[in-house]
Amino acid sequence: MASSSTQRIEEDSGKKSKTIEKKSLGIIASKGTLDMAYPPLILASAARALDWDVFVFFTFWGLDIIHKDKTKNLKIAQLAIPNLGIPNLVGVLPGMTKLTNNIMKKRMKNNNVVSLDTLLNACIEAGVDLMACEMTANLMEYSESDFIEGVKTGVGAATAIDRMADCDIQLFI
């Protein structure tokens, strides 16, 4: 059964009128590492490609994904990638984060994974609502100009919760 947020679109096929229910997806992105930046954006862009209404609410470290400067330098810790075959104890040594990032970036390039910048632009162009948490932005001392173009700033948690309540699918990433 569709949620209360489902929009009804009437199509007139000449003889009959048919109702199509438009689905919705709400995502909360709370982590700002390279490995956690991709899932919300991939899911959001895929849902928009299916003509769903989609928003992503970025809070705490997730704000780094939409921050003009920080999005260019997101990192991933070696401990976050257990299938690299590097023992966890070695992961705490100096230089391992840089090595891990180089390995992951090479893997991404070899597998034709789009850049984060390209994925963010695709989401914006497709009409995904990218929203920055106002309280967290204030806490991190970020201003509206710190975020990439197309991000809605000044969005409170109550707004995000209200939108989430009306979504068919809600995800916390």
Q: What is the pLDDT of residue 14?
A: 59
- 156 found inside a domain: yes
pLDDT one-digit tens code per residue, 93-138: 888 888 888 888 898 999 999 999 999 999 999 999 999 999 999 9
CATH number of the CATH domain containing 141: 3.40.1260.10
Q: What is the pLDDT of residue 3?
A: 44
Boundaries of domain holding 119? 22-75+115-172
Please, what are the averages of pLDDT over each run of 10 residues along the chain (173 residues)?
A: 47 59 95 94 97 98 97 82 72 81 89 95 97 98 97 96 96 95
Exposure class string for 135-148: b at 16+ Cβ within 10 A, else e: ebbeebebeeebbb
Long-range pairs for 146-154 at CB < 8 Å and ≥24 separation?
146/67, 146/68, 146/69, 147/63, 147/66, 147/67, 147/68, 148/66, 148/67, 148/68, 148/71, 148/120, 148/124, 149/124, 150/124, 151/58, 151/66
Q: How many domains does the chain have?
A: 1
- 84 found inside a domain: no
